[in-house]
């Protein structure tokens, strides 16, 4: 294909497009790319006064740094023209894709791992501590995994290889997606938006997202909870862990909100003890009536919960469950699920449970916690049986 035989985009610089510059007010220099009756404007990032721009010569003048700035403009013109020639060679001229392609070329020295590290700092900003830790945990995995490093590694085969690697670790589909694929896909989407890659391998590979209905629901039944609550622990270490889990269930808190629990925030409302605070993750206010069993645990530890790190808590709570005869992969977050599910199955309105959990909407409560136990469904229907026969 001969480039000279094809009509090329007209590329030029334009200054003060909106006619807002004055003798004392600068305006930006833009690159104008016209092709097929359409025009794309790109800011150069250089703003000057009217007397400093020569429209006829398309150059800066009357400035100490004019030589350097003109060289910048010349390089930008050269780079854009090179992209246009490449588009001609590929048989597809898209002037609106030029900015992203230009950005991609400028970042060719950046690896995908570098990009993820930089973007994670932006994504973590303002988020709760547990959300930030999830990004950090994924990045640590990606660095140690070592098979997805560069932008050229972002292929369908690499995504499938990653999924097989996670399956080999006996991870369930939902865990594979939520803790690994979802994060990787989000970084790939960011890179795609910035023009660092042209296609997303996840568009062509079906990764199982998992389904709550196909796994063990992450809560204890009322019988299991009572067994755990009443079982005698062999030592103080496990007794403290059991008490912490039971208290966490009664207040429906996440571990990170539990860490910030402050007994000084307990207030009396209609003669009842109520804890009011704000969820760290969503910044939504929650209100928790403290039941007698919850207050007993607080009193036992003189208002200061026996907190330990989440890692040790997750490890020790499995020992507690084993002693209580509970054969489930319980984690600390099961306490929050358990408490909310117990409330729902005891007949507490979902609007109230949503307020206790600090959810941003009732739909969130319905999605996560409305897990009706079989006997609850039966008992509810039994109440109206004579009305429907």
pTM exceeds cut of 0.85:
no
How far is it, in rounded angstroms, from Cα 170 to Cα 102? 43
- Give which of 19, 44, 21 is closest to 31, Cα–Cα: 44
How far is it, in rounded angstroms, from Cα 339 to Cα 251? 7
For 371-387, the pLDDT digits (tens) are: 544 455 455 545 544 55
pLDDT at 1 exceeding the cut of 50: no
Q: Strands of the chain (E only): list them.
A: 10-15, 27-35, 38-48, 53-54, 59-60, 266-269, 272-278, 285-289
Mean pLDDT confidence for 214-240 = 84
Number of helical (H) and strand (E) elements in the chain, helices listed first: 17, 8
Instruction: Give the three-state DSSP class for 84.
Output: helix
For 27-79, the pLDDT digits (tens) are: 999 999 999 999 999 988 889 999 999 999 999 999 888 898 899 899 899 99
Residue 2: pLDDT band (50, 70, 90) is very low
Q: Which DSSP symbol is given to 233? A: P
* Cα R_g (the chain), whole angstroms: 30
How far is it, in rounded angstroms, from Cα 353 to Cα 340? 6
For 356-366, the pLDDT digits (tens) are: 777 766 676 66
For 135-169, the pLDDT digits (tens) are: 999 999 999 999 999 888 889 999 999 999 999 99
Q: 52 and 73 in contact (C-beta within 8 Å)?
A: no
Which residue do the tokens 């950090």 mark?
136
Alpha helices in 109-210 (DSSP H): 112-124, 129-145, 156-168, 173-176, 182-193
Mean pLDDT confidence for 246-251 = 91
Domains parsed from the chain with CATH numbers: 3-106 (no CATH), 112-214 (1.10.150), 222-377 (1.10.443.10)
Mean pLDDT confidence for 240-246 = 94
């Amino acid at each position: 294909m001969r480039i000279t035989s094809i009509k090329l985009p007209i590329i030029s610089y334009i200054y003060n497009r909106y006619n807002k510059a004055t003798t004392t007010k600068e305006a930006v220099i833009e690159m104008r790319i016209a092709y097929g009756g359409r025009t794309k404007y790109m800011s150069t990032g250089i703003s000057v006064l009217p007397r400093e721009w020569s429209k006829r010569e398309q150059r800066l003048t009357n400035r100490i740094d004019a030589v350097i700035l003109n060289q910048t403009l010349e390089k930008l013109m050269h780079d854009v023209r090179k992209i246009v020639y490449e588009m001609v060679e590929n048989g597809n001229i898209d002037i609106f894709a030029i900015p992203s392609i230009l950005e991609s070329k400028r970042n060719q020295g950046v690896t995908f791992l570098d990009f993820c590290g930089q973007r994670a700092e932006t994504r973590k900003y303002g988020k709760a501590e547990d959300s930030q830790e999830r990004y950090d945990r994924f990045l640590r995995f990606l660095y140690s995994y070592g098979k997805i490093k560069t932008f050229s590694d972002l292929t369908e085969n690499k995504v499938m290889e990653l999924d097989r690697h996670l399956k080999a670790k006996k991870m369930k589909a939902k865990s594979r997606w939520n803790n690994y694929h979802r994060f990787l896909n989000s970084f790939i989407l960011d890179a795609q938006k910035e023009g660092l890659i042209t296609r997303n391998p996840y568009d062509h590979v079906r990764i199982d997202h998992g389904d709550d209905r196909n796994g063990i629901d992450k809560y204890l039944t009322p019988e299991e909870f009572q067994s755990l609550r009443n079982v005698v622990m062999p030592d103080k270490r496990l007794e403290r862990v059991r008490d912490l889990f039971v208290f966490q269930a009664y207040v429906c808190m996440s571990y990170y909100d539990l860490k910030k629990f402050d007994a000084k925030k307990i207030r009396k409302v209609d003669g009842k003890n109520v804890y009011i605070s704000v969820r760290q993750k969503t910044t939504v206010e929650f209100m928790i009536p403290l039941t007698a069993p919850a207050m007993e645990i607080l009193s036992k530890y003189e208002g200061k919960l026996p907190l330990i790190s989440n890692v040790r808590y997750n490890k020790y709570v499995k020992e507690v469950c084993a002693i209580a005869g509970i054969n489930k992969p319980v984690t600390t977050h099961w306490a929050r699920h358990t408490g909310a599910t117990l409330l729902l199955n005891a007949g507490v309105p979902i609007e109230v449970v949503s307020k206790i959990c600090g959810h941003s909407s009732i739909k969130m409560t319905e999605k996560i916690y409305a897990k009706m136990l079989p006997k609850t469904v039966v008992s509810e229907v039994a109440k109206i049986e004579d009305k429907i026969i």
